[in-house]
Structure 1
């Protein structure tokens, strides 16, 4: 039987977004005659690379993926619905190539299961409406439906007159990316799609021999209600919050139907300005809450091949992570596996609440016989957030450099279109290899 001998990770230059190709190379051909397997983790961007770098266009990146996979993608993982993780699927050139690559397995969060939309609208009770997908209950199904409703409301916000430009830009990052989702649904048909929650079977082992995959997140609402940020005294948290925000910001349709009115200086102008500010503040709060919620639907994968371990947490924040971290005192085997990580995809582009301190503490105390960890990050600086909300957070970057060699596509100033790390599957460590520069 063929054995994994090498792991190769390519991190594509997309500016601000995630797009990683993990290739497992074997010492001999597998039953299909190929001696490799390819896993693509996310394919999106929200901001292009800085001036002077590779262009990072989604169609160009897709062509590179096609070349690097030899025209066959084995597994596609889309951690969650944000555009900086899936926008490439809505680009015509990218979508065409993804169809050609025809992944055998498509992994997405449980909240993306297309069966949920029909289930959520049905009445409660046995035999009433479509069946709830395995592993979920009505509470989880309803939460997924509320996320969808929230995105619909935010879509309306982007059309409001007088909305602050920064708030409007942030709202656009939360949209459903309908074309991308439609393509993912198509790629997931005929039993190829799996919708993951903590502890679920991913099916990766059947497609990538020699790989062990553990799904650490996201939990369902039933596994950990905190992931939904539900208030104990308000089971309708999402509906209540959204309704309140929408009453303040008004209807997009109403805003579009009103003719523009010019007001001179004075009390009326002051009042209108204050109302516009209040509308932007309410919209910003709604957008922020939705951003947190979608991040906490991120798939967290712990992948182990040979003697190496890789951690891909998407944009999971602390509400998602708690479900795993609180298991560690009673599960020393899981604690040891997380402590011995060889490669870490920096969570949520280096935000302050996506790399738990307790996880970093495990790496700081890692066994002396382990090679130095590698951390990878695809984050254009200066385009998202300010001060404590900016990504990447300098404090986190400093802390990561203490325990790992940190590699970022934002450092590719020579026109490189991707950053590549290679490791011996038996012992590591991951080391960078030169890649051609884009002329």
Structure 2
């Protein structure tokens, strides 16, 4: 299938690591050769998944004169662990990398400029929010409180380990390969970014340069402003230090009030972290790739909201629909399902017979529902793993997507044929056992249990 575009979604547990090969898209030595790109490399599920994925990736790439494997472009959608944890120096020293694109929000120069003046990007309030959230979560992590698996995973999103991956991406990979990291934003294309291609175009649809305006709103959110104003590392440490014997309680506050203060500080810290987490998702790089009359959409973890509101905090999907909607209304032939199948990352309405909504209009535009299943032409993949978060993946969403796609899978039938209980180790069995018989997009976790080679392949 040398004349077809290939997408390989590696099984990294809960995370994204996606390889795309575009046939004969670049010139080398007087001939056209395939273009090789990687979108993200991260996981919540452990290093062994990432090591296996990178090893498989290396085997798919051509060898260079230096003996390394050629990777023409790395795209990093956003800074979360499940998208960057695999960018380890030991793993990536085997690659010769031609270009690296990262979200405009990831530019380390933004911190030096306090969020302003770097290629026109405005992110001062977004950076302040991130700093407060990071301090809060790292302080919370240092207390070693028993907060449950999901909360521990959320807190670790702000861990120091992410700093190491960011350093690899923003400094080490560029230096090792003699290239410049490009911090991309909506409105740019591969040509603008110094990456000429033949027969293919890569467009950046998000994030917008004015991050504060579009994703936080023209004025600070009153709740976040109040939380940030009341939050200091010192007050946080005093309120959260645990345990505190009765004899050491502050003299000017009752035991019940002290515990209430501690609870409020925890709530404030988590509220800041949730807002920062959403902000980072909404600054995901979104790419549309055009090749051979096909349109592919890679969306990172971009979120959606009910409807676009100018000057208010918006989801990235809503901003894109209102500013770049013409590039979505043409529909897509491939969708990388966002945020591992979470309901917050694929705009939709869960009642197909309900009133029209902006979110529903977006999904109907990019993946129109065919009159009959046999008429479906688009494909999609979700890189997911049931077991960590209850809403991921959202069953009803994947069922809806399954009605819009070809190459879907009835996992109940596949399970029976293979003699494999796909839900054997799932603590959310009750959420899926009555739903497995519905056609749905290909899932990396279930395909692994059914004997995949460590990735899901789609050909266009």
With the shorter chain as reference, the TM-score category is 0.7 to 0.9
Alignment equivalent of 1:324, drawn from 301, 320, 327:
320
The residue number in structure 2 matching 1:345 is 336
The residue number in structure 2 matching 1:421 is 457
Q: What is the rounded CA distance, in whole Å, between the counterparts of 1:187 and 1:238 in structure 2?
A: 36
Q: What is the rounded CA distance, in whole Å, between the counterparts of 1:328 and 1:88 in structure 2?
A: 31
Q: What pairs up with 1:267-416 in 2 under 5 angstroms?
A: 274=260, 276-318=262-304, 319-327=315-323, 331=326, 334-337=327-330, 339=331, 341-356=332-347, 357-362=360-365, 363-365=367-369, 372-384=377-389, 386=390, 390-404=391-405, 405=408, 406-411=441-446, 412-416=448-452
- Using CA pairs under 8 Å that are at least 6 residues apart, name the structure with larger relative contact order, 1 or 2: 1
Deviation per residue, 1:130-171 (Å, 9 max, x gap): xx22232xx435534543453244222221364633434311
Deviation per residue, 1:176-232 (Å, 9 max, x gap): 60110010012235543111111123457825432211111011226x7131x2463
Q: What is the rounded CA distance, in whole Å, between the counterparts of 1:236 and 1:113 in structure 2?
A: 27
Moved more, 39-48 or 167-176: 167-176
Q: What is the rounded CA distance, in whole Å, between the counterparts of 2:345 and 2:83 in structure 1?
A: 16
The residue number in structure 2 matching 1:51 is none
TM-score with structure 2 setting the length: 0.73
RMSD value, Cα: 3.5
The residue number in structure 2 matching 1:59 is 51
Q: What is the rounded CA distance, in whole Å, between the counterparts of 1:150 and 1:275 in structure 2?
A: 18
The residue number in structure 1 matching 2:189 is 201
1:143 aligns with 2:126: yes
Q: What pairs up with 1:113-152 in 2 under 5 angstroms?
A: 113-120=107-114, 132-136=117-121, 139-141=122-124, 143-144=126-127, 146-152=129-135
TM-score with structure 1 setting the length: 0.76
1:81 aligns with 2:73: no
The residue number in structure 2 matching 1:108 is 102
Contact map agreement 2:26 2:196 (CA 8 A) in 1? no
Deviation per residue, 1:79-101 (Å, 9 max, x gap): 00000000112xxxx42231331
Q: What is the rounded CA distance, in whole Å, between the counterparts of 1:6 and 1:144 in structure 2?
A: 42
Deviation at 1:250, TM superposition (A): 1.2
Q: In 2 relative to 1, CA 162–26 (structure 1 residues): closer, same or farther, beyond 3 Å?
A: closer
Alignment equivalent of 1:211, drawn from 200, 205, 208:
200
Deviation at 1:367, TM superposition (A): 9.8
User: Which runs of no fewer than 5 residues in structure 1 stay unpaired?
Assistant: 49-54, 125-131, 429-439
User: Which runs of no fewer than 5 residues in structure 2 stay unpaired?
Assistant: 63-68, 248-253, 305-314, 348-359, 409-440
Number of equivalences = 384
Q: In 2 relative to 1, CA 27–153 (structure 1 residues): closer, same or farther, beyond 3 Å?
A: closer
Contact map agreement 1:301 1:313 (CA 8 A) in 2? yes
Q: What is the rounded CA distance, in whole Å, between the counterparts of 2:444 and 2:264 in structure 1?
A: 38
User: What is the SS of the residue equivalent to 2:86?
Assistant: helix
Contact map agreement 1:197 1:216 (CA 8 A) in 2? yes
